[in-house]
Copies of this chain bind each other. A is one copy, B any other.
Amino acid sequence: MRPLSLFIATSLDGFIARPNDDLSFLKRVEKEGEDYGYEAFTARIDTILIGRKTYDWVARELGASHYDNGEREVYVMTRTPRPPSGKTVFCSGNLEELVVKLKAQEGKGIYCDGGAEIIQELLKYDLVDEMILSVVPVLLGDGVRLFGEGRPEQDWELVKSQAFETGLVQLQYVRQQ
């Protein structure tokens, strides 16, 4: 089974964005030549799963090629179907069924880049195998929470924790069997 991973930055108080999807808090930990393991992480995945709002935000801010580099398969969950574009397909079906199908296929790992809504659903159905959380040393005070409520309790296993010069701490967990 291919694992499904989260790789996401969060504030100390658990927000992944300020209200209005403002990600400017990430600038505090930007450092030339430091990608916090992002390239090494993406080298072990070949499939991306994202929510439609996150996709549209990234496509607008960074360009759709941030996800679809011609090599990876990109699945965008949306309530409003759209025709495929390159290796990007838009899915309106059942998230759980899609993920179970993707996990059973041959290939590298699956990376869910958010947003909070799809992460909440994946955790609820116990479909997340790995979480790499980058904790930024700021209290945002308000915004979009990484972790919602109404999920079952789950044990996780700490694999690694690493502190960086910028004050970012990266925590890597796998789902405890």
Residues of A within 8 A of B (CB): 12-14, 18, 25, 28, 123, 131, 133, 135, 137-142, 145-147, 149-158, 160-161, 163, 167-169, 171, 173, 176
Measured between beta carbons, the chain B residues less than 8 angstroms from A161 are 161, 163, 169
The answer on a CB contact under 8 Å between A139 and B135 is: no
Per the bound structure, the CA–CA distance linking A11 and B169 in Å amounts to: 16
Contact of A150 among B14, B18, B142, B156 (CB under 8 A): B142
The answer on a CB contact under 8 Å between A151 and B147 is: no
Per the bound structure, the CA–CA distance linking A108 and B133 in Å amounts to: 35
The answer on a CB contact under 8 Å between B141 and A150 is: yes
Measured between beta carbons, the chain B residues less than 8 angstroms from A133 are 12
Known: A139-B147, A141-B154, A158-B163. 4 other contacts (CB 8 A): A137-B173, A138-B153, A138-B154, A141-B151
Measured between beta carbons, the chain B residues less than 8 angstroms from A149 are 141-142
The answer on a CB contact under 8 Å between B142 and A173 is: no
The answer on a CB contact under 8 Å between B173 and A153 is: no
Per the bound structure, the CA–CA distance linking A169 and B138 in Å amounts to: 18
Measured between beta carbons, the chain B residues less than 8 angstroms from A147 are 12-14, 139
Per the bound structure, the CA–CA distance linking A141 and B33 in Å amounts to: 36
Contact of A151 among B123, B142, B169 (CB under 8 A): B142
Contact of A158 among B18, B146, B169, B171 (CB under 8 A): B169
CB of A114, distance to nearest CB on chain B (Å): 15
The answer on a CB contact under 8 Å between B167 and A157 is: yes
The answer on a CB contact under 8 Å between B153 and A139 is: yes
